[in-house]
Amino acid sequence: DNQHRLGNAHPNIVPYQAFQTSDSFFVLAVGNEIQFRKFCEFAGAPELPEDPRFKTNTDRVKNRKILAPMLNELTQQNSTQFWLEGLEKLQVPCGPVNTIKDVFDDPQIQHREMEISMPHPLSGKGQVSLIGSPVKMSETPVSYRNAPPTLGQHTDEILEEVLGMDEDERRVLANNGVV
Looking at residue 8, its pLDDT comes to 87
Query: 89 φ, ψ to 5°?
Result: -60, -30
Q: What is the pLDDT of residues 93-127, one digit of tens each?
A: 999 999 999 999 999 999 999 999 999 988 888 89
**pLDDT reading at 2 higher than 90:** no
Which is the catalytic residue, given 10, 111, 120, 154?
A: 10
**Active site annotation includes 4:** no
Please list the residue range(s) of the chain that carry CATH number 3.30.1540.10: 16-96
Neighbour-count burial of 91, counting CB atoms closer than 10 A to its CB (0-12 exposed, 13-18 middle, 19+ buried): exposed
What distance in Å separates the CA atoms of residue 139 and residue 145, rounded to the nearest whole number? 18
Looking at residue 38, its pLDDT comes to 99
Looking at residue 4, its pLDDT comes to 67
For residue 120, give every residue at least 6 positions away whose Cβ sits within 8 Å of its Cβ, in sequence order, or none: 126, 127, 128, 147, 148
State the pTM of this model. 0.73
| Strand residue runs (E) in the chain | 16-20, 25-29, 94-96, 115-119, 127-131
- Give the CATH number of domain 16-96: 3.30.1540.10
Looking at residue 73, its pLDDT comes to 98
For residue 139, give every residue at least 6 positions away whose Cβ sits within 8 Å of its Cβ, in sequence order, or none: none
* Mean pLDDT, range 68-97, rounded to an integer: 98
What distance in Å separates the CA atoms of residue 122 and residue 100, rounded to the nearest whole number? 17
Peptide bond before residue 148 is cis, with ω within 30 degrees of 0:
no
**pLDDT reading at 1 higher than 60:** no
Looking at residue 123, its pLDDT comes to 86
